[in-house]
Every structure is written in C-alpha cells, then in structure tokens.
Chains A and B, each alone.
Chain A
Amino acid sequence: MILIMGNIIKFIVVGFNRRIDKKDMKYKVNEKGYYGDFGGAYIPEMLYPNVEELRQNYLKIIDDADFQKEFHQLMKDYVGRPSPLYLAKRLSERYGANIFLKREDLNHTGAHKINNTIGQILLAEKLGKKRIIAETGAGQHGVATATVCALRNLECVIYMGEVDIERQAPNVARMKMLGAKVVPASSGSKTLKDATNEAMRDWINNPVDTHYIIGSVVGPHPYPDMVAIFQSIISEETKKQLITQTGNDQPDYVLACVGGGSNAMGMFYHFMDDENVKLIAVEAAGKGVSSGFSAATTYLGKEGVLHGSRSILMQTPDGQVVEPHSVSAGLDYPGIGPQHAHLFKTGRGQYVSITDEESLDAGLLLTQLEGIIPAIESAHALAYLEKMEFKGGENVVICLSGRGDKDLDTYIKYFNL
C-alpha cells in the first residue's frame, strides 16, 4: 500500500511539473542544449534567429496555463486521448509475459505524430507564424501537420522524398485533401533525410513568417526537447494506466521503435529516471545490419552532426551521410535524436534492431492474434518480443505508435495477399 501511494505521489509530481529536481536532469537537456555529449544547435546563421526565438520562448509558452488548457482540451476532444493501454491477452500467452500495448494507433490521424503537431501549431500561433512547413517520411507526420493546419487555418507545405511519395500514396492523397502542398524531395536517397534537408532550405529562405514543425526528436536545440515534451503525454498516461491496471507505475520493460525516435522518446520520457525500468529501443536493420541496406544507426553509426545536432549517424569515414534503408519509411533515417544517443551511450537504453522481414512477420502476427494491423514501424518493436526471454509475469509495455492502413500495399506484396 505504501508502495502504491508512493508511486501515486510520484506520478502526481511527474505529471504536473516536468522539472522536478536535479536527479531528474540526468537524461534531460541541460542549459546549453546538450544531453551529455549530444545535442546543441549546429545551424547556419540563417536559421539562428528562428531557432533562438524558439529556444527563448518554448518553455515559457508550453508552461503557460492557457496553453496547457488548450493543448489538453484538443488532446481529449480532437485526438481522442487518453489512448488506451491494452493488455494483449493472446500476445501475452504466446510470450509468457503481460504485454500491454499503448494504442497510439487509435489517435486521430492514426499515429502518435499528432501529439507533437498539436503542440507545435499552438506554439507557432503564439509566435505569430502564418505559414507551416514540415518534412515527412511515412507520411504520418505530414498528415498530422496538414491536419492541424486545416484545423487552425494556416498555410501548409510538406516536403516528402520521391521514394516515400511512391510507397505511401494514401498519405499523400490525405495531405492534399487537407489542403497541404506536397513538395517532392528529389535529392540523395529521396527519403526522410532529404525531405528534412528541403524543409530546412525552405526555412532558411522564409525566415520571418514560417514555423518548421519537425516531426521527430531531431534537429537543433530546442527541437529534440520540445518534441519530447509534447510526446511525453504517452508515458504520462501510461504510468497512470499502469497504476490502475497493475497497481505499479513501473513496468519491467518499455519498448518502442526508433527512426528519429519521437514515439520512443514519448514512451521513455517519464520512465527515464526509473532506473529499474528497462528501456528497449528498436531500430530498423533493413535487410540486415551488415547488408549495406540498413537503418540501424547505433550499430552502424558514429558520432557526428546531422540536421543541426550532434548525435550518432551513419556516415563514411569522410563524414558523408550514408543513405539508409528500411521497409518502413518512418524508420528510414540515418540518425537518431541526441537524447537517444545519450541514452545509448550511457547504457540507460538498450538499442537493438529488427530486419524488414522480422517486422512484417510480427505485423501479421499481431493482426491474427489481436485483430490489430500495426504500422510497419511499430511492428519492429513487436518483433523484438521474439528475441526476449521472460521468466513469466513481467509487465511489458510496447508503444504501438501507428496503425497499418498506410502499409497495406507493402503487406500485400510481402504476403501475397
């Protein structure tokens, strides 16, 4: 009982005040914008005023009571939060552990991405911005951005790699219906990295009226922190739901897939300082980590700078960014957010990888055991269950970051459906 009370008290503190005390800062961003060795703002001067404006204002705006009220109202009435924490019984039986799925796939627009775009659009409005730009990989962040732009009547331009436009056609159609302009990125690997480059170029050329809604916990400080704060609602709710369902807000394991790492950071956020909760981040191995067609950043990468922050990225010895591969467009990125790099380097998080085939098989398995078709991104996290060993009775939370509707073509081709 005392234990439960303790957890409840702790939850209340966590839920209402992000910056509790010094020990809470171990894995969070410091005053200089760094997480240990990672982070910072490695940007050309053209981006400095915009990023600095954000840096000076983001916490002030987010902490404002009116902002919080509007954010939480929209989360509830528009997004449909809290998303359920679902004990997947048949999946649990198969693996011999209590497997809970955090159902971000049930959010409006079908993924966790909307948590961040709602937060950032409100922030952009406070900063007086009139035009919104974003990059997208799988199209989920693009759709989530186009959605909030329609909602708030702001001009919207989405950059998307040509390859991704091809493999995520339904999301492209959605963005267009929502009134967004979708601009193909045709440089490099024509995927997420290149879409991000194009969005940054747009921002350089439109320095005054435009806000760039980065979709992941990447980019120059304060983006990784800002996106993590908006996504932290995932773990904030999970803790509350775990107390109700298990009597303990600390599970044994928390799993999430990592491309740039926004759903994982949201899922890890309020567990980071609970050192007995094991955090497992699942990267995309593509065709295998040694195949030359992979996006397993921590395995293949080295420290360096990509898209404005110091982190870990896949690169040649000469410092040229290597083109990644994953069957899932949302994980097809050669870097990870700086906070992930810090969790990886300190050993706080365990970073593993899953191949294209393993993820697709796990996607089918969940569909047949639980009646849920997951996004291929999220299926990477599910696939790692096959590689874990349980004594029995452990509580495992997996972030089911998105639904699989957008991936039907890929599933159909792979399984000859």
Chain B
Amino acid sequence: MNRIKQLFQEKKNILSIYYTAGYPNTGDTIKIAEALEKSGADMLEIGFPYSDPVADGPVIQASSKQSLDQGMTLNLLFEQLKDLRKNVTIPVLLMGYVNPVLQFGVENFCKACAEVGVDGCIVPDLPMVEYEEFYKGYFEEHNLSNVFLITPQTAVERIHKIDGLTNGFIYLLSSSATTGKNLEVGDTTETYFGRIKDMNLKNPTMIGFGISDKQTFDKACTYANGGIIGTAFVKAIENGDLEESVNAFMKKFKA
C-alpha cells in the first residue's frame, strides 16, 4: 500500500514538513529528511526548486534561488534520493512547479519518483484538466498520489471533482496567499474549514500555508487530519547546525 494512505489510516494530527531540496547546502537533502523523521515528523514534502516560484513568498523564493545557484537540478535531486529509503520510512512527496517536470518528462518523472521511493507529488500549477487527460495514467502506473490544492474561493463542485481525482490527501490552503503568510483563523476561515469538514470528502485533508507554531498546528488539527509547515521550517534551518536546528524546531510541536 502507498505509504501516504497507510499513514492517514493509522494516525491523527499528522505533522508534515516542507523543505527545499539542496538548501541550505546541496548535500543536505537526505540529512534533513533523516533528522525530521528522527524528531517526529509524520510526512515530508521535498521542494524541487524553480526559478520563478509565483506561489511562494520571500523565504521559499530565497531558498529556491540559493539551492539553484548552488547547482540543484531534478536530475541531481533524484541522484540524492537514491539514499532516501536507507533510513527514512515516513511518506515523502515531491513538490514543485510544472515546468521542470515537463522538461524532465512527466513519465520519466513518475518513474524516477517510484524508483527512489517517493510516494506522491504536489505540482500546484499543473491544471486538473491536463492531469486528467494526459498524465494521470503515469501517476497511477507508479502508485503515486497526486495532491491538489483548494482555497476558500474554490467552488463546491470543483472540490468534489478534486476529491474524485486525487488519492492521497487534499491540501487545504488556509487562505488564498503566497507561502509564508500568517494564519489568521477568523470566522470566515473557520466557516470554510467547517464547510470542508462537513462535506465528508473521501480523501483526508491537510491544512497548509500559515502554520508556524504549536497553536496554529493544533487549530489545523481540529478541522483536518493535520497540518503542513513550510516557511517557518525553512527559516529555522537557515543557519547553525542542521540537526540541532531541526530538533529545536520539532520540539515546539511535541509539547
């Protein structure tokens, strides 16, 4: 069984961490994955960097740029990920923009993911229509989940369509925003989260964008199967000893 499905069957309050591959240093990709699993992360989203990340705020933009400047490519990432499953057992997704995937070849990309033990992908600018018409087959052939995003503005019919098309989890954006904005859970957000919860979707949901501490994470867990942290984590590992930074960051969520 796909590791993602298994995780959601077995666990509640799932903590998923996003980080940019090859940041702060090119060789850190696997080290971070191992440190995160050791310190209690339930799932990982490894970002493959892109030169023009329009959905990202300044922190993830900067990490992407640094990673690219240091020589990261999709080819190099898959080379690094050959060591992924030596010590990492939790589900791992790759997250990034569609153009590098298209240049790599979608079929090759799916095959490479499966070979290194990646369980799913999040490609926010890959349209649902194109996915369904051209690429779904490759994802299914390699047992990969493809995760879609929804925002407070996503229409109900579209949410149902996404629920029918995906097979891992649905990524609930707390608001329409680039990454790194603070989560302000007001009445409208609560209504939206509540509305999604009441829809009884077949897929589990994870809330992302704007979760940075225990309080916002716990809030996310009351409405969804868990929360995703990106910007706050990327910022936390910018300087200093990598393993110590990861441990210190994760400790905040285990209290």
Which residues of A does B touch, CB under 8 Å?
A: 32, 40-46, 48-49, 187-188, 193, 197, 200-201, 204-205, 207-208, 302-308, 315, 317-321
Contacts and interface: CB of A to CB of B under 8 A. Distances in A.
Given A187-B61, A303-B102, 14 more contacts: A42-B127, A45-B173, A46-B151, A46-B176, A48-B153, A188-B52, A205-B178, A207-B176, A304-B99, A305-B97, A306-B52, A319-B50, A320-B68, A320-B100
A208 B148 CA distance: 21
Contacts of B50: 319-320
A44 B55 CA distance: 7
B54 interface: yes
Residue in A45, A188, A315 with the greatest tally of chain B CB atoms within 10 Å: A45
Contacts of B130: 40, 42
A193 B150 CA distance: 27
A105 to B, nearest CB: 32
A42 B126 contact: yes
A45 B149 CA distance: 6
A315 B75 CA distance: 16
B126 A188 contact: no
Q: How large is the interface on B (under 10, 10 to 19, 20 to 34, 35 or more residues)?
A: 35 or more
B55 A315 contact: no
A332 to B, nearest CB: 15
A375 to B, nearest CB: 26
A205 B173 CA distance: 12
Residue in A32, A46, A49 with the greatest tally of chain B CB atoms within 10 Å: A46
A275 to B, nearest CB: 31
Interface in B104-135: 104, 124-127, 129-130
A301 to B, nearest CB: 12
Contacts of A207: 151, 153, 176
A8 B118 CA distance: 63
A205 B102 contact: no
A197 B129 CA distance: 24
Contact of B52 (A48, A193, A205, A208): A193
Prevailing SS type, chain B contact patch: loop
Contacts, number: 106
Interface in B40-57: 50-57
Interface string B53-76: 111110001000100100001110
A72 B108 CA distance: 51
B168 to A, nearest CB: 16
Residue in B51, B104, B173, B177 with the greatest tally of chain A CB atoms within 10 Å: B51
Contact of A317 (B55, B97, B98, B103): B103
A204 to B, nearest CB: 5
Given A45-B124, A207-B153, A306 B99 contact: yes
A187 B54 CA distance: 11
Given A42-B126, A188-B52, A305 B99 contact: yes
A302 to B, nearest CB: 8
A282 B159 CA distance: 44
Given A201-B178, A318-B75, A319-B50, A43 B127 contact: yes
9 contacts: A32-B129, A42-B125, A42-B130, A44-B125, A45-B149, A46-B173, A193-B52, A305-B97, A319-B101
B154 A48 contact: yes
Nearest to B152: A207
Interface string B70-84: 000111000000000
A46 B172 CA distance: 11
Contacts of B65: 187-188
B155 interface: yes
A320 B51 CA distance: 5
Contacts of A201: 54-57, 178
Nearest to B53: A197
A43 B125 contact: yes
Contact of A319 (B103, B124, B126, B148): B103
A348 B115 CA distance: 43
B149 A44 contact: yes
Nearest to A304: B99
Nearest to B102: A304
Nearest to B133: A32
Contacts of A187: 61, 65
Residue in A304, A305, A318 with the greatest tally of chain B CB atoms within 10 Å: A318
B122 to A, nearest CB: 10
A305 B178 contact: no
B98 A305 contact: yes
Contacts of A318: 73-75, 100, 103-104
A308 B61 CA distance: 18
B13 to A, nearest CB: 24
A46 B103 contact: no
A76 B158 CA distance: 43
Given A32-B129, A49-B153, A318-B74, A44 B54 contact: yes
A55 to B, nearest CB: 12
Nearest to A313: B99
A49 B175 CA distance: 13
A325 to B, nearest CB: 16
Contacts of B74: 318-319
A317 B73 CA distance: 9
Interface in B138-187: 148-151, 153-155, 158, 173, 176-178, 181
A317 B103 CA distance: 7
A319 B102 contact: yes
